[in-house]
Amino acid sequence: MLGNLGNPLKIAVIGSGPSGFYAAEALLKANIDVRVDMFDRLPTPYGLVRGGVAPDHQKIKSVIMVYDKVAALPAFRFFGNVKLGQDIQVDDLSKFYHMIVYAVGNETDRKLGISGEDIHGSYSATSFVGWYNSHPDYRNEQFDLSCERVAVVGIGNVAMDVTRILAEDPEKLATTDIAGYALDALRKSKVKEIYLLGRRGPAQAAFSPAEIHEIGELENADLVLDPKEAELDEVSKGEVLDINAKKNVEYLREHALKGEGSKSKKVRLRLCVSPVEILGKDGKITAVKLEKNKLVRDQKGSIAALGTGVFETISVDMVFRSVGYRGVPIAGVPFDQKSGRIPNVEGRVTDIQTKQPILGHYVVGWAKRGPSGLIGTNRADSQATVKNMLADIASVSETPLIPSSSKDVAPWLKDKDVQFVSFQDWKSLDKIELERGKANGKIREKFSRVSDMLSSVNQETPVL
Ligand code: NAP
């Protein structure tokens, strides 16, 4: 039977972020004979832990040690710089693997859908985060930080990261793994006022208590909010708040009483306001028009923001949308346009028409449930999908797609001239990054161009 000693279950995991590694971990810990090949479109592993977590949150990145332990297991291989839908297709994978796990995350951002969103100076938080984290996709982005006033739309933890990076003393980032070019730009930054715009009230804020505390404790910036906006509205007063919401409400109420403060920069948190238009002149942003909201209970019983018809305009030169991420479709993989996710039932990918599970195809992480939760949330989520994969082994082994054990993806990729990067190769890049960082007094100086990564990979190293 498939999975018994000598008859290994072969699995392809697409994506090497937290959800991919936790799926690999759960599979490799299962009591079966299994081989896991992990693919990533970048030569580097770790997904958002490398390209998303803020440089001043190094402790969060220590989770990489767990992933490295998984990668060190003999039944695990990494194939970096291999893009599904481009270098290899789903049909090709099906020749080599019994099961495919999509751990592809959410690679784009949600739009606001308001007028002016495309004016120069309106950016997605995702691009700014990728830029300061040396992500090759965003390496060539240009952010004009010579302006003084910025609006950040949305008050989730990504908005907190963006705000902190803009408001923090750049010297505090100087020893981290922030991109060198981003540090240079931040050192020259003139930004001194950041409007954080939340469409609902303090009890519905998406930031974690620790994240808003960090904003409140910034050395160079005061967190300022109107005590009236920090108060609970009538609808929220009737709610039983969870522990985080309670902490946020209390913190904001107390903090609002501190007033303007005397620090050189201001983070102005506004609540119950929605941007309705981004205004510009001569192709540049000049202001954001906001509508005051009141909170109402919607048909599902959730607390929603409803415009009141009362408007105001705040002058800003730059806008960051930080209203959540969204998946992008991959050729050959079902995709639900409405939710931006891979359709699934408890991790089993389903056909978009029939809604029936497609045997052998699974999904984990944000691609499965949407962009929510912290890194650790993905462990239980991936384990749940793996449980279903293990339950499906008997059915998979009966399908005609059983690959011949002599076939392997590595020579196939070589034949196609795909320059894949093994985990050992990545470790040689890792070493170079650490050495370059040391020379600059930093934790790490990341590569930010795929071409540089590939040319630096020691080609003499045995790849597998
Ligand atoms: P998020 O937590 O979902 O926050 C999105 C924010 O955008 C919410 O405030 C939301 O308001 C607002 N929003 C959505 N649509 C809007 C619209 N049309 N107009 C105005 N506001 C709108 O998303 P995120 O910040 O991108 O974070 C994604 C996940 O990563 C979260 O689970 C987060 O905790 C996690 N993360 C964690 C860390 C960390 O631990 N340090 C760092 C970064 C990210 P509503 O609530 O009203 O919808």
Q: Is 153 in the pocket of ligand 1 (CB under 6 A)?
A: yes
pLDDT, mean of residues 214-231: 97
Determine the atom of ligand 1 nearest the C-alpha atom of 110.
15
Is residue 277 included in any domain, yes or no?
yes
pTM: 0.95
Closest to 12 (Cα-Cα) out of 309, 409, 331: 409
Closest to 422 (Cα-Cα) out of 134, 51, 81: 81
333 and 292 in a common domain? no
Q: Is 202 in the pocket of ligand 1 (CB under 6 A)?
A: no
Is residue 182 included in any domain, yes or no?
yes
Q: Which of 278, 304, 321 is the last residue of a domain?
A: 321
Is residue 445 included in any domain, yes or no?
no
pLDDT > 90 in the chain, percent: 93
pLDDT, mean of residues 294-300: 94
Contacts of 113 (CB under 8 A, 6+ apart): none
pLDDT at 231 > cutoff 60? yes
Q: Report pLDDT digits (tens) over 140-153.
A: 999 999 999 999 99
Residue with the smallest CA separation from ligand 1 atom 16 is 323
Q: Residue 171 is encoded by which pair of tokens?
A: 């010297």
pLDDT of residue 463: 43
Strands (E), 344-446: 344-345, 348-350, 357-363
pLDDT at 405 > cutoff 70? no
Is residue 57 included in any domain, yes or no?
yes
pLDDT of residue 1: 83
Is residue 370 included in any domain, yes or no?
yes
367 and 269 in a common domain? no
Q: Is 156 in the pocket of ligand 1 (CB under 6 A)?
A: yes
Is residue 446 included in any domain, yes or no?
no
119 and 61 in a common domain? no
123 and 97 in a common domain? no
CA angle 179, 182, 186 (to 5 degrees): 140
pLDDT band with cut points at 50, 70 and 90 for residue 462: very low
216 and 346 in a common domain? no
Å from CA of 27 to ligand 1 middle:
31
**Average pLDDT for the chain:** 95
Q: Is 325 in the pocket of ligand 1 (CB under 6 A)?
A: yes
Q: Residue 409 is encoded by which pair of tokens?
A: 């993806």
pLDDT of residue 407: 76
| Identity of the residue numbered 39 | F
266 and 239 in a common domain? yes
Q: Beta-carbon neighbour count of residue 415 at 10 Å? A: 8
Is residue 241 included in any domain, yes or no?
yes
pLDDT, mean of residues 43-49: 98
pLDDT > 70 in the chain, percent: 96
pLDDT at 399 > cutoff 80? no
pLDDT band with cut points at 50, 70 and 90 for residue 406: low
Q: Report pLDDT digits (tens) over 313-332.
A: 999 999 999 999 999 999 99
Q: Is 207 in the pocket of ligand 1 (CB under 6 A)?
A: no
263 and 208 in a common domain? yes
Domain hosting 372: range is 9-107+327-421
Pocket perturbation via mutation, ligand 1, pick of 323, 325, 369 by most ligand atoms within 8 A of CB = 323
Q: Report pLDDT digits (tens) over 71-119.
A: 999 999 999 999 999 999 999 999 899 999 999 999 999 999 999 999 9
Determine the atom of ligand 1 nearest the C-alpha atom of 52.
43
348 and 374 in a common domain? yes
pLDDT at 234 > cutoff 90? yes
Q: Is 320 in the pocket of ligand 1 (CB under 6 A)?
A: no
36 and 74 in a common domain? yes
Q: Is 105 in the pocket of ligand 1 (CB under 6 A)?
A: no
117 and 37 in a common domain? no
pLDDT at 455 > cutoff 50? yes
153 and 132 in a common domain? yes
Q: What is the CATH number of the domain that holds 370?
A: 3.40.50.720
Contacts of 185 (CB under 8 A, 6+ apart): 143, 145
Which residue has better confidence, 394 or 388? 388
Is residue 179 included in any domain, yes or no?
yes
Q: Is 158 in the pocket of ligand 1 (CB under 6 A)?
A: yes
Q: Is 274 in the pocket of ligand 1 (CB under 6 A)?
A: yes
48 and 95 in a common domain? yes
Q: Is 155 in the pocket of ligand 1 (CB under 6 A)?
A: yes
pLDDT band with cut points at 50, 70 and 90 for residue 244: very high
Contact (CB, 8 A) for 75 and 35? yes
| Integer Cα distance of 335 and 322 in angstroms | 23
pLDDT band with cut points at 50, 70 and 90 for residue 6: confident
pLDDT of residue 92: 93
Q: Given strand 303-315, what is the order of strands in its sheet?
A: 273-281, 284-297, 303-315
Residue with the smallest CA separation from ligand 1 atom 1 is 156
Pocket perturbation via mutation, ligand 1, pick of 158, 164, 269 by most ligand atoms within 8 A of CB = 158
Q: What is the CATH number of the domain that holds 169?
A: 3.50.50.60
| Integer Cα distance of 88 and 375 in angstroms | 28
Q: Is 200 in the pocket of ligand 1 (CB under 6 A)?
A: yes
pLDDT of residue 423: 97
pLDDT band with cut points at 50, 70 and 90 for residue 459: low
As for how many domains the chain has, the answer is 2
| Integer Cα distance of 196 and 221 in angstroms | 13
Q: Is 112 in the pocket of ligand 1 (CB under 6 A)?
A: yes
